[in-house]
A = this chain, B = another copy of it.
Amino acid sequence: MPPMTVATHAFAELTAERGLLFGGDYNPEQWPRETWIEDIALMQRAGVNLVTVGVFSWAMIEPRPGAREWAWLDDVLDLLHAGGIAVDLATPTASPPPWLGVRFPEVLPVDADGVRLVAGSRNQFTPASRVYREHALAITRDLAERYRDHPAVRMWHIGNEFGQVDYGDEAAREFRLWLRERYGDIDGLNRAWGTAFWSQRYDDFAEILPPRRMPYLVNPTQSLDFRRYSSDQLRVVHRELREAIRATGAAQPITTNFMGFFAHVDYRSWADDVDVISDDQYPDPARPTAAAETALVQDLMRSLGHGRPWMLMEQAVSAVSWREHNLPRSAQSARRNSLQAVARGADAVCFFQWRQARAGAERFHSAMLPHAGADSDVFRGIVQQGRDLRALRAVAGQRIATDVAVLFDWSSWWAGEEPARPTTRLSTLEQVNRWYAVLWRRGISADVVGPRDSLGDYRVILVPHSYIIEPATADALAAAARAGAQVVIGAFSGVADENAQVIPGRSPVLLRELIGASGEEWAGLPDAPTPLTGAGVPAGATASILAERLRAEGAETLASFDAGDLAGRPAVTRHRVGDGAAWYLATVPDDAALAAIVNSVIDASGVVGAHGSAEPLPADLEAVRRGDVLFLLNHGDSPVELAVAEGLTDLLTGEQVPTVVAVGPGDVRALTERHPS
């Protein structure tokens, strides 16, 4: 864990001063000045105390090359400050003005088909472009210089949702530099990429291109490295903009908004570049599994921040508009989602955006202040949320403890889903979510750990699917098991090395001794589920997607295949190692079978839920303990009850609750022994 910096402290001071932060993106560019006045009055009514300003203001500040139009922004910041609203001031670098691409076409990204993407949407830049970076740096320097001491400015925000991918000539140049850095010489690259296959050997870095459209399947390591490079190239831009702000002497915390399990950026490598983790969360209200999936994302964000509070930087108060079909949230559901973030470690609850846009591609994206205005259910719900957050003020800065780790690594995710694999039906995220859901139903939070994180203190370590496992990680997993942990390895894990090359030998080669079993050949299972049998799975259990031919070498068999070519072979094994055990899954069990297995693991570990019990929670009830507050969130349509300790008070209502506490449909409880402040 990196040391707490001055800026990290500054964030803690901000929440100590203001309580939980509440607000959203504020885009005054879209409105006349009289609307700003109204906005601030309504923000005050709602209890808003932080807004993010300037994300899309490049074309307003620099309407033509070199211009600097600051007056409107001076005015906005002054008005907000006068209204008592703090500002998270954004570099306007996410979306350059059209003139930049017209004058310097090389700033425009090029896709894998060679098509140069134009203005008319947003984000039309490549992070590989020196011209883009010079212009972005220049405006960032001037912005920070001008506002570093403005009293409204309490945070800085770099760009927005970094995620651009570019296959053009600018990217080719930077990709080659990145590869030279990584591999030193071309022989190293040829070995790592396995270019002896299909006559792909490169004689010089100058011959290498991004994985543009090609006649057939791409070299998977080339593709993996291009993903790594693309993430790193964005990171370079992020870091130089951050440094430009710091170079002016600005001391406020700096952040940028992550997007959960986002496919194009390895946030673990970025996490220590921000002073506070912030995240945009848009779960689909149409997904029945959204609550547990959101909890996992929130646990990831807490983990990226080493347990420190994080910010929910963007969410939708009701519907979004970028899906094909967009369901709204009710005010109650929006409230519960905000409080879920607080329960899981957020010290800020923010929305995109304050006032719903009339024009543009997000005119139907809901906002705190909808088209209908303040006389609306949506705005009344926002006012209620402001009240709730003030009631929870004591939670700010509190932390969450857990004995459970879930391994997730971006490189492994990328490499494991490259084309030409046993089956495209295996999805890393789907498997991680399926495993996590079993924890969630038992009120257990998890740290989402990377392959280089310390594993020593966990009692349960889940590896739902990690295609790449490097030797150090394999060693750490074995050490943890010997020391008493329950280590569970899911299907198709430990297959490849850091270059996505399959490790030769009976699989999983590096974990073979740990699991006491070995297999050969991962391949798809037939469409009809394959029955499983054994004490470790319930009657009627099945497997699907893929399997390997496994042989027990010391492990006990908890379940076996019961049909097809694999009939009689082990499907789930456990190997007792030292004080712990290593569990192994040679296939993908159905939901009930997976739950039985993970529940057995939890029972073996002695870990209990936030409600202090090993009993499962009532259906749809989420329980999480932050500091001394037990949050209970009912995501279902029916009332539920739960036994709790005596003498607890609900911070949200101020009332003392009985020892069997009722949580109404959609409702939230925040129970503490303390009396509300």
Chain A positions within 8 Å of B, measured between CB atoms, are 27, 29-30, 56-60, 63-64, 92, 94-99, 102, 109, 111, 113-124, 164, 193-204, 206-209, 211-222, 286, 318-319, 321-322, 324-328, 330, 356-366, 370-373, 375-378, 419-425, 499-507, 518-527, 549, 565
Contacts and interface: CB of A to CB of B under 8 A. Distances in A.
A206 B549 CA distance: 60
A321 B121 contact: no
Return the 8 tightest CB-CB contacts between A and B, nearest first: A194-B359, A197-B360, A372-B520, A217-B361, A328-B523, A59-B201, A95-B199, A319-B523
A359 B500 contact: yes
A223 to B, nearest CB: 8
22 contacts: A56-B199, A63-B203, A64-B203, A113-B113, A113-B115, A117-B213, A121-B217, A122-B199, A123-B216, A197-B360, A198-B361, A219-B360, A221-B359, A319-B422, A324-B423, A325-B524, A326-B422, A359-B502, A364-B522, A375-B506, A378-B520, A378-B521
Given A60-B196, A196-B29, A501-B363, A215 B124 contact: yes
Given A98-B207, A124-B215, A194-B357, A199 B504 contact: no
A422 B214 contact: no
Given A196-B60, A330-B565, A521-B319, A102 B207 contact: yes
A608 to B, nearest CB: 35
Given A30-B197, A200-B59, A202-B98, A422 B523 contact: no
A631 to B, nearest CB: 23
Contacts of A527: 286
A209 B120 contact: yes
A358 B199 CA distance: 15
A328 to B, nearest CB: 4
Contacts of A115: 113-114, 213
A117 B215 contact: yes
Contacts of A376: 506, 520-521
A178 B204 CA distance: 38
A357 B164 CA distance: 33
A222 B118 CA distance: 13
Given A116-B114, A324-B424, A373 B121 contact: no
A198 B121 contact: yes
Given A199-B96, A199-B97, A321-B421, A121 B214 contact: yes
Contacts of A518: 372
B197 A27 contact: yes
Contacts of A363: 220, 420, 501-502
Contacts of A196: 27, 29-30, 56, 59-60
Nearest to A545: B325
Contacts of A214: 117-121, 124
Contact of A321 (B57, B221, B366, B420): B420
A651 to B, nearest CB: 26
A362 B118 CA distance: 36
A354 B237 CA distance: 46
Contacts of A203: 63-64, 97-99
Contacts of A565: 328, 330
Given A319-B523, A358-B501, A375-B506, 9 more contacts: A30-B194, A56-B196, A120-B200, A123-B216, A198-B361, A218-B361, A221-B359, A361-B419, A365-B420
A434 to B, nearest CB: 19
A357 B64 CA distance: 55
Contact of A371 (B102, B207, B505): B505
Contact of A325 (B114, B122, B217, B423): B423
Given A422-B321, A423-B326, A98 B200 contact: yes
Of the listed residues A102, A116, A503, the one surrounded by the most CB atoms of chain B closer than 10 A to its CB is A102
A420 B361 contact: yes
Given A122-B215, A199-B92, A325 B424 contact: yes
* Residue from A196, A198, A523 with most neighbouring chain B CB atoms (10 Å): A198
Contact of A218 (B56, B120, B373, B420): B120
A326 B422 CA distance: 6
B358 A502 contact: yes
B501 A359 contact: yes
A197 B362 contact: yes
Contacts of A318: 521, 523
Nearest to A56: B199
Contacts of A421: 321, 364
A176 to B, nearest CB: 12
A251 B173 CA distance: 48
Contacts of A525: 327
Contacts of A419: 361
Nearest to A360: B197
Contact of A121 (B193, B219, B375, B504): B219
Nearest to A565: B330
A563 B136 CA distance: 51
A75 to B, nearest CB: 15
A357 B197 contact: yes
Contacts of A208: 98
